[in-house]
Structure 1
């Protein structure tokens, strides 16, 4: 995950990269609804006009964040699947853990990666990364033996929905009373994904 110094200094020429990194930090802290170009600029200690030299507006900055998030999330999913071993069901269930951990850390889940406001932004780099992410998810789902592409899509949707639900509840303090850690909550997300996979196999 990209890091920006709390001093908010940046070397000449890499403001674009710093804006993207600061955007992740802001999303993790305040969420998509309160995300703004002005807030990112303040975080970096630059003028409110400086980001517009690289991004025409909020949606274009968010598009660059989406591309980076899709790339990084896909890498996290592939790594988690590899750690899970050869069993297709375990590999697919590991998606829930990878998603949960990534979004808890960055705030950039599918609600950011596939934000409706981005569909009007002609950003082929983002589209390439989101297509690669979805292709990886569908490949993992198809490997468990679902009989059709449509059912693979439905299984991916269900697992991501469960993982995102755990992410949201964790962020909002739902598990605070039970004092569940990130690790314990990630394990619950995986268990829920495993139940979905078993149910899909029973149909």
Structure 2
């Protein structure tokens, strides 16, 4: 199980709290503003910093989704956000840090969607897995930019995104997996399983042919849920599998 927590785990109980922690810190990052001081333009210092951060993150998301990481620059981000390079470097150490921060934010939102779905699902393992994976895929497929940002077709190897993506998929599988009271049904996700499912998800939500109609969206969602069910329940005995249907 990967060692990290998500922001929503602090405010939700039950399934959301199943996401592991590491020293009480989220590997998806935490936003901390400087203490407010002088007021300018109706905003205090901390509010201005938060507003700049939000504008930069929105620009990063838009440009990386539309152009790809290799064709996104700090200058382009600043022009889109209508901020200066100085504002950018006062907020992020470099381009890769900015992109990873935005990925962390979107990953938190995706896991929140999966956790909310688990609250409404049947406690049976198969139903839980399907509910969480379907919620995740609905979240992604609802926005073409989310598809291209969370499941890029081209990803440089010199960024931390590769590790973050594997960590996210591992936690999604643990969150969706059978609860502790069904230990025999739980197949702990191995590194190989995580990589395989991440690649399969990349293909499943590929932007090729987008925008797609409702029927195709539902087909992809059902396919993804079935795929993860088969992986996580692979070690269950036939009688146990029947009980999950």
- Counterparts of 1:154-193 in structure 2, within 5 Å, are 155-168=193-206, 171-173=207-209, 180-193=215-228
Q: Give the SS at the match of 2:137.
A: helix
Q: Deviations over 1:172-203 (max 9, x none)?
A: 11796x88543343233223333444544359
Structure 1 Cα separation of the partners of residues 157 and 114 of structure 2: 23
Structural mapping, 1:123-202, within 5 Å: 134-135=170-171, 137-143=173-179, 145-146=184-185, 149=188, 151=189, 155-168=193-206, 171-173=207-209, 180-201=215-236
**Separation of aligned partners in 1, 2:71 and 2:160:** 20
Paired residue for 1:108?
A: 149
Match of 1:87 in 2: 124
Instruction: Tell me what 2:68 maps to.
Output: 31
Whichever structure has more helix as a proportion of its residues is: 1
- In the alignment, is the contact (CA less than 8 A) between 2:186 and 2:233 conserved in 1? no
Aligned length, in residue pairs? 182
Separation in 2, partners of 1:156, 1:71: 18
- In the alignment, structure 1 residue 97 sits paired with structure 2 residue 138: no
- What secondary structure is seen at the aligned counterpart in 1 of 2:105? helix
Instruction: Write the distance in 2 (CA, Å) between the matches of 1:110 and 1:48.
Output: 28
CA shift for structure 1 position 15: 0.7
Partner Cα separation in structure 1 for residue 196 and residue 236 of structure 2:
14
Larger Rg, first or second structure (1 or 2): 2
Q: 1:191 to 1:174 in 2, by over 3 A?
A: farther
SS of the residue corresponding to residue 201 of structure 1 reads: coil
What residue is the counterpart of 2:31 in the other structure?
A: none
TM-score normalised by L of structure 1 = 0.65
CA contact (8 A) 1:36 1:58 kept: yes
3-state SS of paired residue (1:86): coil
Equivalent-residue separation in structure 2 for 1:162 and 1:61 (angstroms): 26
Bigger mean CA deviation after superposition, 140-149 or 61-70 = 140-149
* Residues 1:160 and 1:201: Cα distance change in structure 2 (over 3 Å): farther
TM (normalized to structure 2)?
0.56
Structure 1 partner of 2:16: none
Aligned-residue RMSD, C-alpha? 4.0
Summarize the Cα distance change of 1:152–1:26 in structure 2 as closer, same or farther, 3 Å threshold: same
